[in-house]
Structure 1
């Protein structure tokens, strides 16, 4: 059954309670490569409960429920095979620093359906509030192959002008062979990231890393390198998933300072710098 855009957009928002603990935060941080070296004071703020700071990208897994991609496929008007789905991009805006322990209300709805010709793109927006007010808003862009070409709205372009000049900083972050297996314990059990047979059916030689794992690794690199390790300085973070990453590869993260923001480009070092994240911006104080 194709996507019914009108039904998806008209559906009532889905609301539920989510909660998380320091253990969930620590597991997420380990899943994106924190804790190396294990005794480094800069890493202990991600792994030790007595000094725990929460990287804002934790918002993408807080509550441990289905991630944006899988959650979006269960919305009214959306009935597609998981093997034809990819996470196309993610945007996150935080209203205030995330607590290490919390209970909040999450409200999700499809806010846009774009026809890109060979594919459709669903935008799933989730707004999260707790007793003290808004915490964060996230937009997951869900790319569904074979669901375009029906004459719908193409939507706005998300492409940005490439930064010019040499990057201010370039860092490399290795990805463990078991990185996807560890990251999925934060709630994203899509078999594309663990099951070789499913990955082949989806058109990949082997399981690929979660896009949101790369997303988190990249934000951590920016915070640690250009923001003095201060997670509270992040205001928003947007990225387009431009290519896949395989466990065992190395991320090359290039960063350009701008007024109140950092532009970022991420590539796979071993594959001739094949693009991984593009149109990536971290806005900060």
Structure 2
């Protein structure tokens, strides 16, 4: 049985996910907070620094909703080895508390024919208890190779690199053990830690989680463009295009367009690793 195109519109039953302050701190360290300067990001890495209130990196919202809270929805049968995380978007209505609880549910919003494969798009929301509107909304696209050919085209993406030099170029480092730190936030896929598994997947060594790269980039952009204020974070989106190996440096090219910033990320070997990026801020 192939992909079930009738899965579009199906939603999961609400599920409650909770977190404590230490989990938010661990996530921040997992995406590089305090890595270059242990005193530079104490609001994200400590809970008891004098005069510093603990704050939470906005991209932690994707971990809470999509990777901890979302129930799997049946989309038919396919070879899981042919699945890759293609796109990710995270939207916050406000800053995440240091600890709390969300009611999470997911919906399949589209299954599209991309020729060589299928793109399965879902939306996940997380609401605080008693709230009407979601605090966190994530959108994710999974590309499943070999499952195309059913003739349902997807929406057009109008993103394009501006015809000028980047307005800002930022650098971000990753540690050789970055994947080992990041996996403690919940993603234990051996592709990112087991050399034998990575070899079977065609890589010379374990690769960094795409969502770790996404979190590193989100943190660097927040610090550089919003003075590290999570309350100004609106939306971060991008498309995963090439793997990053732990220990590589990242180069983030940014084009400013008001409160919206387009960006593209290159890895140390020159490949574009995160493409078609958009970072939207709220006014201060």
Normalized against structure 2, the TM-score is what? Answer: 0.90
Alpha carbons 2:30, 2:178 under 8 Å: kept: yes
1:274 maps to which residue? 271
Q: How does 1:153-172 map to 2 (within 5 A)?
A: 153-158=152-157, 160-172=159-171
State how far apart, in whole Å, the 2-side matches of 1:24 and 1:259 are.
33
Question: SS at 1:229's partner residue?
Answer: coil
Q: How does 1:110-121 map to 2 (within 5 A)?
A: 110-121=108-119
2:147 maps to which residue? 147
Tell me if 1:45 matches 2:39: no
State how far apart, in whole Å, the 1-side matches of 2:34 and 2:42 are.
7
State how far apart, in whole Å, the 2-side matches of 1:206 and 1:82 are.
20
What stretches of structure 1 of length at least 5 have no aligned partner?
none
- The Cα shift of 1:260 comes to 1.1
Normalized against structure 1, the TM-score is what? Answer: 0.90
1:235 maps to which residue? 234
State how far apart, in whole Å, the 2-side matches of 1:244 and 1:186 are.
20
Tell me if 1:84 matches 2:82: yes
Aligned residues: 276
State how far apart, in whole Å, the 2-side matches of 1:39 and 1:206 are.
28
Root-mean-square deviation (CA, aligned residues, Å) is 1.9
Question: SS at 1:236's partner residue?
Answer: strand
State how far apart, in whole Å, the 1-side matches of 2:230 and 2:9 are.
36
1:34 maps to which residue? 33
State how far apart, in whole Å, the 1-side matches of 2:194 and 2:257 are.
41
Which shifted more, 196-205 or 17-26? 196-205
Of the three residues 59, 77, 99, the one matched with 1:57 is 59
Larger helix fraction of residues = 1
- The Cα shift of 1:226 comes to 1.6
Alpha carbons 1:193, 1:199 under 8 Å: kept: yes
- Residue by residue over 1:74-121, the C-alpha shift from the partner in whole angstroms, topping out at 9 and shown as x without a partner, is 421333333221110101111111111111100012111111111111
